[in-house]
Amino acid sequence: MLAFVLFLAIALGFALAAVYAERKVSAFIQDRYGPMEVGYKGLAQTFADIIKLLLKEDIIPSAADRKLFILAPVVIFTSVLAGYAVLPLSPDVIGSNAQVGVFFLLTIISLDVAGILMAGWASNNKFSALGALRAVAQIISYEIPLTLTVLSVVMICQTLNLQEISFQQGIWMNSMEVYSNEHNYLFGIKALGIDVTMTGGILTWNIVRMPLFFIAFIIFFISSLAESNRAPFDIPEAESELVAGFHTEYSGFKFAFLFLAEYSMMLLVCFLAAILFLGSWNTPLPNIGAVKLANWTSGAPGTLAGNVWGAFWLLSKAFFLIYIQMVVRWTYPRLRVDQLMKLSWKVLTPAALIILFISGVWRLLMI
């Protein structure tokens, strides 16, 4: 319950902050100031926007399929928020410690597609329908490399539980019963004989435990951009061609809801990337001899310090990834449909398959 409240608050607060951050980041990249008028340096801009949005008339087109039209935003937001259920925020705060965590997460966020299709279809509008079709084609194509990279991580970690994956990537691994006798070796290779279990920090992150995961991480990141319909993969809502894509007909509160779902999705995939590849809630600073940086910047699971540090590191990593997403959005032009499909099927999927294969072999070196 605590995790639900925290994640809901984080998702809502994040949507507000991220809209502001997005406008500021884009402004700085384009040598502008961005919002400056509402509040100090424009800080209250998003609040003004959201108030305006909520006060707007909630229009349902007369030719729309009324039931589906109303249901679609709910389905989209619910499926995204449900994904947060299996994410660990800190060593002790997790919604559901389900053993099938990753599997559940990938499944439930796929429901998002159904919601988008509902929204596009129910709007009875050519832009909405085209946008929804593109969204579905894109999300389904990119789910394959995404899932393959996640599968590689699962093969290395030998678990679907996100909390267990988190514990494996830091100095507190042995405090978990299942892993009390496990050891982390540098680059995951036992033959090297360098035990980094107690060194922790960046050395035990999945991205270092299996160096090829750097490529897997990039594949995951690109696919997650496509999953959350972010530029440069925003053809489902390409404003220059499709007005606003599947949510063209939505206004007022429903639009705010869809917008919230979109930003929650961004945050969700960034959390997932941080958990799977970047050491989850573990500190990036390793213990070096007597300088116990890792111990100083994290607390034991079960203590308040451990949870606060854990949440701090995980949120920092997720927000850093969000920042990268924003910079990417304001750097690259939108991909054409054929380029989009080519990237997914001819580049990312084969590369992910190769990494999946190597991961299997790597796992043999780890035991």
Partner 1 sequence: MKKGKTLLDDISEAISSLTSGLKITLSHFVNARKHRKPIGIENKDYFAQDKGIVTLQYPLETIPIPDNGRCRLYNEIDDCIVCDLCAKICPVDCIEIEAVKSTEEIGKTSDGTTKRLYAAKFDIDMAKCCYCGLCTTVCPTECLTMTKTYDYSEFDITNMVYHFTDLSPEQAEQKKKDYEEKQKQKQATKVESAVVEIDKNKGNTEDIALKDKPEAKEEKPEVKPAAKPVFKPVIKMTPKPPTPPKNEGEEPEKK
Q: Are 307 and 299 in contact (CB under 8 A)?
A: yes
Distances from the Cα of 235 to the Cαs of 134, 136, 241, in angstroms? Answer: 7, 11, 9
- Least distance in angstroms from the C-beta of 48 to partner 1: 18
- Least distance in angstroms from the C-beta of 22 to partner 1: 13
Q: Which is nearer to partner 1, 219 or 242 (CB)?
A: 219
- Least distance in angstroms from the C-beta of 320 to partner 1: 13
- Please compute, for residue 321, the number of CA atoms within 13 A of its CA located in the half-sphere on the CB side: 27
Please name which of 221, 270, 329, 222 lies closest in space to residue 10, comparing C-alpha atoms.
Answer: 270
188 Rama class: left (phi>0) / alpha (psi -120 to 50) / beta: left
In whole angstroms, what is the distance from residue 222 CA to residue 243 CA?
Answer: 24
Q: Which is nearer to partner 1, 103 or 323 (CB)?
A: 323
Please name which of 11, 50, 80 lies closest in space to residue 228, comparing C-alpha atoms.
Answer: 80
Q: Which is nearer to partner 1, 189 or 358 (CB)?
A: 358
Q: Which is nearer to partner 1, 77 or 213 (CB)?
A: 213
CB atoms within 10 A of CB 341: 15
Q: Are 165 and 275 in contact (CB under 8 A)?
A: yes
Q: Which is nearer to partner 1, 41 or 292 (CB)?
A: 41
- Least distance in angstroms from the C-beta of 17 to partner 1: 18
Our CA angle for 225, 231, 236, nearest 5°, is 90
Q: Residues in the chain, how many?
A: 367
- Least distance in angstroms from the C-beta of 30 to partner 1: 7
Q: Which is nearer to partner 1, 253 or 330 (CB)?
A: 330
- Least distance in angstroms from the C-beta of 322 to partner 1: 14
Task: Write out the two tokens for 339.
Answer: 């380029």
294 Rama class: left (phi>0) / alpha (psi -120 to 50) / beta: alpha
Q: Are 91 and 48 in contact (CB under 8 A)?
A: no
Q: Which is nearer to partner 1, 303 or 331 (CB)?
A: 331
Q: Which is nearer to partner 1, 47 or 332 (CB)?
A: 332
Q: Are 196 and 186 in contact (CB under 8 A)?
A: yes
Distances from the Cα of 179 to the Cαs of 150, 184, 192, 345, 353, in angstroms? Answer: 21, 10, 21, 37, 28
- Least distance in angstroms from the C-beta of 341 to partner 1: 14
In whole angstroms, what is the distance from residue 28 CA to residue 36 CA?
Answer: 12
Q: Which is nearer to partner 1, 296 or 320 (CB)?
A: 320
Query: How is the chain split among helix, strand and coil, in percent rounded to 5?
Result: 70, 0, 30
The DSSP output letter for 347 is I
Residues that bind partner 1 in the complex, under the rule CB under 8 A = 25, 27-33, 36, 327-328, 330-332, 346-347
- Least distance in angstroms from the C-beta of 324 to partner 1: 9
- Least distance in angstroms from the C-beta of 327 to partner 1: 6
Task: Write out the two tokens for 326.
Answer: 């924003």
- Least distance in angstroms from the C-beta of 121 to partner 1: 35
Q: Which is nearer to partner 1, 40 or 289 (CB)?
A: 40
